[in-house]
Amino acid sequence: MQDLMGKLGALRRPQLMVTAAQKGADGYDRERDLPVLLGRVPRCGPAMMALLEQEEAMEACRVSRMPGYAAADHLMVLIALMGEARELRRLQLV
């Protein structure tokens, strides 16, 4: 878990994206959102790993200004990452 949280904490993204993702994470619903992003609802750890891989690919597209890059899709992945991190922290406290 620490490794996943460390990777998430090491992400450096534009402040506007981070702020939007933080606001969006309040409405995150893993049962609704993960099937859209991952095609299934895995446990928190595997979900975060898959989301981190997606986010890394999206960030590469953003930085290189790829024509197919969609900021809204990237934001959805960041929201899910933050939501999963919250869930993982919650599970640690139980």
Domain range annotation of the chain:
2-93
Q: Would you say 54 and 77 are in contact if contact means Cβ atoms under 8 Å apart? A: yes
Which two three-digit tokens encode residue 22? 């933080």
Q: How far does CA 20 lie from the centroid of its chain?
A: 12
pTM, 2 dp: 0.88
Residues, the chain: 94
Mention every residue, 6+ apart, whose C-beta is less than 8 A from residue 41: 30, 31, 34, 35, 47
pLDDT digits (tens, 9 = 90+) for 41-65: 999 989 999 999 999 999 999 999 9
pLDDT digits (tens, 9 = 90+) for 3-28: 877 777 777 898 999 999 999 999 99
Closest CA to 53 of 89, 8, 1: 8
Is residue 72 pLDDT above 60, yes or no?
A: yes
